[in-house]
Structures are given as C-alpha cells and as structure tokens.
Amino acid sequence: MSDPQRSVPDGGHDHDHDHSYPGESDHVHEDTTHVETQTVQLDVPEMDCPSCAQKVTNSVDRLDGIDSIDTRPTSGVLTVHYDSEHTTSDAVRDRVEAAGYTVKMPDAEHSESLSIPEMDCPSCANKVGNALDDVDGLVEYDLQPTTGTADVTYDSETTDSSAVVGAIEGAGYDVANTEADGTDEDATDDRSSIWTSTRGIKTWISGAFLGFGVLFEYFLTGQNVSLLGIPGGELALADLLLLVGIAVGGQVIVRNGYYSAKNLSLDIDFLMTAAILGATGLSLFFTGASLYIEAASLAFLFNVAELLERYSVNRARNSLEELMELSPDTAVVRRDGDEQEVAVEDIDIGEVVLVEPGEKIPMDGEVTEGESAVNQAPITGESVPVDKQPGEEVYAGTINEQGYLEIEVTSDASDNTLSRVIEMVENAQSNKTDREQFVERFSGYYTPTVVGFAILTALLPPLLLGGAWVTWFVRGITLLVLACPCAFVISTPVSVVSGITSAAKNGVLIKGGNHLETMGEVDAVAFDKTGTLTKGELTVTDVVPLNENTDEDVLRCARGLEKRSEHPIGDAIIERADERGLEAKTIDDFESITGKGVRANLNGQTHYAGKPSLFEDLGFDLDHVHLTTDGGVALEETKNRCADREDCLDLLAKTIPRLQGEGKTVVLVGTEDELEGVIAIADEVRPDAKLAVEGLHEAGIEKLVMLTGDNEGTAKAIAEEVGVDEFRAELLPDEKVEAVDELLEEHETVAMVGDGINDAPAMATASVGVAMGAAGTDTALETADIALMADDLSKLPYLYDLSNRANGVIRQNIWGSLGAKALLAIGVPFGLVSVVLAVLVGDVGMTLLVTGNAMRLSRVTPENE
C-alpha cells in the first residue's frame, strides 16, 4: 500500500530545503496593510544556527525604523517589521548581505501538492513515477501512497501544473482538488464512499451477473439454452451472463492493465488483465476451453480485493486526516477595532485572535488578555488541561476549556506547531525501515520469479507430460494471481503509518519509520540529567528553622538578602517567598562576599546568607544548634545534648551532609549573633522520572544510564532517587558523546534522551535521539529523531512499548503474508488451490489481515490514560 517514493527526474536536482513560505508565491512578502508599518520576509538559507541568526539580527538592527526582527534558523526565514518612512525592504536585504549571508531571490521553481486518491499501493506509485519521469521541467517529486498525495516541484518557465496533472492522468489516475482541473467527483466519491463509487457499483453488477451465470450453469441447467455458435463451441445463456460480468467488472482492470503495460510496469493490474483476457480468449476461440466462470470470478473478486484494500488504506489515511482537522479553518481577528472572521491562512504574525470558551485555538501565539484552562492533549498528549494567563504560549489545535482569551499570533498558519507536526508525520513515511527496504528488494525478485513459474506451469506439463491444456492454463492463471506481492509489500508501511499517527495523537512525534523500528530494538537508554530527569529549575526543597525562628522568618530574611543577588539560588528563594506571600524587609548596604555569600542590613539589622563556611568564619558553633520544634519541621537527627531539651542539632555532622547527599545546595541564614535557619535548594527530580525508569526496566531495557556535567555527589543522589542503573558525572559535551559511544560498544542499540539542544551531539551519536518538551522548541522538533511534545517522561515506556509492538506487527505481517503466498503457490501445481481460493486468501484475505493487524497499533495508549 504505502511505498513512499522520492525521485529527481533526469537533469533535475534535489533540494534539501523548501523555499516557499506561507501565503506567498515567491520568497519576499511585503504587507502593506498599514500605512507606516510593513513586513518583509526573506529566504536566507545560510542562516542555519543561532549564531548566524544573531549576526543577521545585529546587522539589520542598525537600521532606523526597525520594529521587530524574527529569525528562524531551522527554516532559514527572516521576518522583519519596519517603519516604511524610515527604511525599505531593499535596505533590510542589504544589511543581511552585509552580515555575510545571501538572500535567495525568487526563482521559477513552483511546488504543489496533488491529491491522487486511487494511488494507494507501491504499484500505483511506480506507474505514476514512471509517467512523471517523462515530464520536462519537473525538478522533483515525492509520492506518498499512504496519504494518496504527490508533492511536485517544477520549473514554471518550462512546464506547468496542467502538464503534471496530465502525466498522472495519463498513467490512469485521477487527480482531485487541483487548480488545473478542479475537483474530480469520482475521486472524491471513491475516497468518501468506497462501496458506492463507480468501481464499486460496477463490481456489484459484475458479481450479480457472475451469480446468475453460476445459477444457470449448475442449478437451472434446463433453462441454460444455447444462444449461438462461436469458434470455441456453443455460447449458452450462462456463458453470456458470465461474459457480461467479465465485461463490466473487467473494464477497469483492463484499463489499468493497459496503463501498466504502457509504463512497463509488471504489476497486479497487468497480471490480472493477462489472466482475464487469456481465460476469456481461450473460451471464445478454442474448443473445449470453457473458462468463463474463472474469468468472471477473477474480475469480480479482484475488484472486491481492490475495494477492500482502498478501504483499509483509507482507515490509515483517516488517522492522519484527524490530525489535520484539529485546527479550525477560520478565526476571529480584531482589525481596526472591529472583530472579523477570516481564514487562518490570511492572519499575519502580530495580529490578535479572539477565542471564546469551548473553541479551538486557531494559531500559535502568546496570551495577551484573559485566563483559561487549555486542553493541550491534541499537541502534547497531556491529559490534564493547563492553566494559561497573559504572557504564556498556546498552540494551534488545542482547546480553550473555560475563559475568554485574546492571543497575539507568533507563527503563520503553515508554520505553527501543529502544521510542523503534521508535515513531519507525513514526511516520516519517506524514512523507510530496514524491513521495508528488504521487502522492496525481495518483491523485485518475487514477482518475475512467480510469473516465470506460472508460464512454466501452464506450458511444460501439457508439452512434456501430456497434461490437459485447460487444466494447466488455469493453474498458470492461479499463479499469476499469487505473483503480486501487494499484501507482502504493504505489510510494513501500513504498520508504520498506524504507529506514527497513533504516537502523534498521544504527544509523541516519531520522524520516520526507521526511528520507530530502532526505538523498538533499544537495549540501553542514556538520560541527560538537567532538564530531563530533573526540571532544570532550582527550587527550595527544605527550610529548617532554628533558635525559635519560624520557616517564614527564615524565608523572609533570605528573600531580603537575595533580592539584589543575581544567582539562580537567589531566584529560587525569592520565588518560594513570593509563593508564601512573604514581603521583603527593607534592605541597604548590600555586599556580595565572593565565594561565600551575601551581607546586608535588613530593617537596620545586619544579616548574612551563604555557605556553612561563612558562618564558621563568623564564629558560629554549627555542631550544636537548636531546632525550632513548635510548628517547625521534625528531624531524626535531633539529639538530647542539653540537660532540658531534645532539639539539639549537629549541622556539620548530620543535617548538612544529609542534605548535600540528597543532591541539594545548603544556604545558612542568620544575623551576627544568631543562626536563624537552613535552606536547601535543588533542581527537583521530575515527578514522573522514577515511574518512567521503572516502566523501562519492566519493559526489558537492559541498562539505564544518567549522563551529567554536575558533580559526583549531586549525580549520585539523583541517580539513586530515580533508579537508573549507572551514572557518569562531571562530563563535558564531548565526553557525553564518548559515553554514548561506549554504550554502543556494549549494547547494539542505544537511545539518548535530552532536551534536543545542549545534548544534540550525544543524541546524534546514539542510535535514536529523543527530545523532551518539543512543543515550544523549534530546535528540538528539527534535530530529534523522536520528540516528546510535553515534558512528560511517562511517555517513554509507552514509546518503547508502541515501537516494540510495531516491530512485532511488521514481522507478523511480512512472514504471515509471505508464508500464505508460498503455501498457496506450492499447492497450485497439485490442483489443491483454485483461482477463487488464490484471490480470496492470497489477495483479499491477506490484505485485510495485514491492514487489520497494523491498525491494532492505533489502540496502544499510555498506561496512565
């Protein structure tokens, strides 16, 4: 069914990137809607990294009148909003070139996506490809049978869309929804209602005549009168009925067979045409050869098989189309003070869209007004709606559950997160699995071999052994039916499509069938620590109040001291104090004590915050302090060291080592005379990290390793908490790559899980790279092999389970279909397999089985959903 084909015709060249942008016919788009502010969008192919983008930004920013600059290194697109009274688009282009980057000017190449509903198998794609190879000026084409689409790029000065469409229709396939010829009704009907399509109706008529023919041939023999004489004998009523069935059902088969012959394609259409015409011709012109029932059965059953295959393919296509339907076609925009409903393609970056409760969010953007809970499950797979307020990101296709929102658009409709996900899912079919490539190579030998065997079966026994010509001819026809490897060939692509679309619906973007296959074979997984197993943000984890101070007293003083600090630890303390609603004390005379901490006057009293060594230098006895027990925390390490109290603590020997052993940074807070408390700060482990590690262990992953640049103590504490088998600490980026290489030497297949940015080298070295939190990160979407759209590690066991099951389904489909064909082929020469059985089992049955088996993958969901 789905054999994605990508080809560059002779004399053409293959582009690694796309030069067309949303709503444009060329590469420069200027918006003159407003009198003063205009927009220019430029294609800068060489701007492919953050450093490049920064150089371009710095250069353009030198111009007067620049309002905003948006650089997208992943696509090489630069968008600049500027005041037309102070600068021009030519000046912007000159500044880009002054930075050392070429602006690609519009050229004659034009890209177009064509819908070919009937192109639903590798054989169909081969015929379309052969036809497109003869089109002059065609630069590139990409055929996707699983979606029934052809993406073509051509030189508009040499050819046009009508020539491309004409070539496809010349191969026997209708093109739907094109500018060249409008909407093809038959194709549309064929996609929406298989059974009542033109081919479907002809099939049922053919079947009815086959039924009546069998009725008169075997049951109403007295009424089966002879009608006229023909070279092959008498033509009876049953024969005439069967001939009508052959003509009605065989018309579309013979038509397709003609196009197969025209395009030199030895496919099922050509083979079935040869079988039907051969059986009918023998019956009409050779005495004693009555094969009308065989020919009529072939015409009817093969059409049924084709309709069933199309129905099965459409099930896979529909799973992808469900993704496409997530985003609304229109949105309400505020323009010049009025609310207007416009197509999403006509909405510009910077405009404000209005979203009522219960509506889908139409564009990627940033909330500017309103608060609401947003259901992000369509993009990230998160089951719980996420609260959104001004300043936070939202994604197209997600659902506004409660409140009214106003959203400033940050991406064009064709460049938003959902569009990129859909595009990557579609393109994923081009990355074939090893098994798929094997199947394609094998099928290239299989069909000619079986056809040769069929010819020998039909000729040798009658010639050498005196067998009956009719008997052995029918057996030869039966082998021709088995010569088509359709069920065998579609066994892998339909499984890949089902698996990839299922993953996308659950917030996991798999960018190729090869990555799906590889993930299912993983033996070891390497995790980055910061931002992957941990949240990547420092937070206060413990507050230990001392000497009758409360934890609020400790946080309030620490907040005041850290207010002027620029250290991330200070930010974590301030954030926790703000959460508790604690106001800062009046601060003055602030001083940073290098390497130790800070000092300041709070409400006129000198306070300190810093490392334990700072307070030792101040003369404090840290091995004997008193814990605040009234409303404070309870600690196991308290001792009865004083005669009348049981709240004594040894910070140096007990409390501080315990906190540091848990991977936490310890900050002490106090005055010159009193130690007020201890605050512990850490990069918290994600709540789902331990569950994810346990799930992977249960799934059978041999080794789970954490790689980090952090110190040994912190790394050990995190590793023990999440349950990984091994950790490696204090690694530089290149040392992480070496660690992955070492894992690859020990284990055949290794996955690397990270954020997709800092870990890119290690992820590229691994067999498969998995990036987290990709929904809001262009780089992660582009660089990772697999992207978890949300920061949700619990999706990892699901991903491995899905990939593992997909590999199992692919194996079952390949060997099941191949084994069935082999058994049937062996039985043909012995007269054990009839034409009808060959069609029903070898074609119809196996097609249904492999597609049905593959669709089971769509029911695989994460355990917590």
Its sign, for the CA torsion 185, 188, 190, 194, is negative
**Which amino acid is present at 342?**
V
Q: In the structure, how many helices (H) and strands (E) does the chain have?
A: 28, 34
| Residue 192: partners with Cβ closer than 8 Å, 6 or more residues away | none
For tokens 């029918």, the residue is 474
**Is residue 612 within a helix (H) or strand (E), and if so which, with residue range?**
helix 612-617
Residue 178 gets which letter from DSSP? B
Total residue count of the chain as it appears in this document: 865
Q: Which of 317, 318, 309 is nearest to 200 (CA)?
A: 309
Q: What would the DSSP string read from start to end of 411-460?
A: S-GGGSHHHHHHHHHHHGGGS--HHHHHHHHHHHHHHHHHHHHHHHHHHH
Give Rg (Cα) of the chain. 35
For tokens 């020990």, the residue is 746
C-alpha 580/C-alpha 771 separation (Å) is 34
User: Which tokens is 150 given?
Assistant: 């052809």
C-alpha 338/C-alpha 345 separation (Å) is 19
By the 8 A CB rule, do 174 and 116 touch? yes
User: Which tokens is 79 given?
Assistant: 């968008």
User: Which tokens is 477 given?
Assistant: 């026809």
By the 8 A CB rule, do 597 and 591 touch? no
Q: Rounded to 5 degrees, what are φ and ψ at 63?
A: -75, 145
Active site residue 528: yes
C-alpha 149/C-alpha 133 separation (Å) is 17
- Within 287-412, where are the H helices? 292-324, 377-380
Q: Which of 732, 708, 706 is nearest to 719 (CA)?
A: 706
**Is residue 721 within a helix (H) or strand (E), and if so which, with residue range?**
helix 712-722
Its sign, for the CA torsion 220, 222, 223, 227, is positive
Indicate which residue of 120, 267, 412, 528 is catalytic: 528
Cα–Cα distances (Å) from 144 to 21, 129, 150, 365, 427, in that order, read 22, 11, 6, 31, 9
Q: Which of 128, 146, 148 is nearest to 138 (CA)?
A: 128
Q: In 3-state terms, what secondary structure has residue 442?
A: helix
Burial of 384 (0-12, 13-18, 19+ CB in 10 A): exposed
| Residues acting as catalytic residues | 528
